[in-house]
Amino acid sequence: MPTSHVSELLDALESKARLQESLTDLNVTISKEDLVRLEALACAFGLSREDVCSSLLHSILMEVEAKMPYRPGPKVIRIEDGDPIYEDVGPMPRYLEAKRRLEKEQLDCA
């Protein structure tokens, strides 16, 4: 039996409700110049400045996480294809540990 429009609507509403539950407020202070940029983007795309700010922050965090530098330390942690792989002594291990800890704390509070 094909999916009905009502089933699709209910799925979409449930998905939106799950997303809303995962959101939280964050107050930030930005420069007047950045506020103008934010407002201009909101106007250009017909969105609220909060939606634009949230999208920008999400995209930037994804890119920062992807581009966090690897800094090889002195300790070899494994050998791959005959080549030594050195322990990462850059910010990524500290970041991942903090992220795991904070995610666990959020789950424990739920």
Q: How far apart are the first and last CA of the chain?
A: 38
Q: What is the pLDDT of residue 3?
A: 66
pLDDT over threshold 60, residue 109: yes
Q: What is the pLDDT of residue 29?
A: 96
Q: What is the pLDDT of residue 2?
A: 60
The rounded Cα 60 to chain-centroid distance in angstroms is: 8
Instruction: For residue range 35-91, list pLDDT tens digits in order.
Output: 999 999 999 999 999 999 999 999 999 999 999 999 999 999 999 999 999 999 999
Instruction: For residue range 1-30, list pLDDT tens digits in order.
Output: 566 889 999 988 998 898 888 888 999 999
CA distances from residue 13 to 2, 18, 50, 55, 105 in whole angstroms, order as listed: 19, 9, 21, 20, 28
